Amino acid sequence: MGRFDGKKALITGGARGQGRSHALRLAREGADVAILDIAAQVESVAYPTSTPEDLEATAAELEGFGGKVLAITCDVRDQTAVEAAVAEVEDAFGAIDIVLANAGVMASYGDKKHDMAAWDDSVAIMLNGVYYTLRAVTPGMIERGRGGAIVITGSTSSYIGVAYKPEMLNPGQMGYGAAKSGVLSLMRNFAMVLGKHGVRVNTVIPAGVATKMIRNEFFEADLAGDAPGGWMANVMEHGPVEPEEITNAVTWLCSDEARFVTGQSLAVDMGTMLL
């Protein structure tokens, strides 16, 4: 028996990174899982973003657990596309119980970080896209009366500034911070309204996670290469964690073990925000 037997999950940004890790855990624990992903390059982002092959490979892994799987190419910047994807999942699964609004990019480095498109994409994916997702799933979750859990991926940048040089006040970096701060308001407001319907809404707040978002040549050159001592330090004196460490927290937030936890931000930051 898995803790999510009979549950239906929708995950944005599910092709790789944290989203893939979350999807695999939920499927392993018995959930039917739908992964949504752009599966294409975001032009303002320097590192390679997800591909159709990433989406297909993750879907194949999920199918190995025996539950229903949907893999949908969806750009969360497009409200109509998000609404269509949610409708497709509801039709195929009959319900959505778990929503992980996880899709994200980092346009903070590389040649295009000073273009306003870097701001636009950051906010469109990590703030607008979260709102479109929550707005699309909420009516069905209320109507079905099954309760549920929503977890939004935030960041330590939801709470603290990380810029240490004027160049970091670029549209990409500022868009990232603005979006990650904005989702806290979305979380709190949706939690206020959905609580009486048994739907819990929380954020998970990671520090550095070892995905392609930071494990790439552009991050090392533009940011980490000249960072001052103690930049993004944490009290555990640990480097970036693996995605599975964030999945552990997300899994708990979605489970019945956290059935009275809502409107909260769970930091998995090794004590970064203590400093």
What positions carry a catalytic annotation? 176
The CA distances from residue 10 to 65, 82, 98, 102, 158, in Å, are: 16, 11, 6, 10, 23
* Cα distance between residue 91 and residue 93, in whole Å: 6
Tokens of 274: 């203590």
3-state helix vs strand vs coil in the chain, percent to 5? 45, 15, 40
By C-alpha distance, which of 189, 205, 164, 212 is closest to 262? 189
Q: What does the alpha-carbon distance between residue 235 and residue 257 come to, in Å, rounded to a whole number? A: 28
* Nearest alpha carbon to residue 22 among 75, 125, 100, 89: 100
Concatenated DSSP letters of 64-113: TTSS-EEEEE--TT-HHHHHHHHHHHHHHHS---EEEE------SSSTTT
- Yes or no: say if 224 and 264 are a contact pair by the CB < 8 Å rule: no
Residue 190 neighbours by CB distance under 10 Å: 23
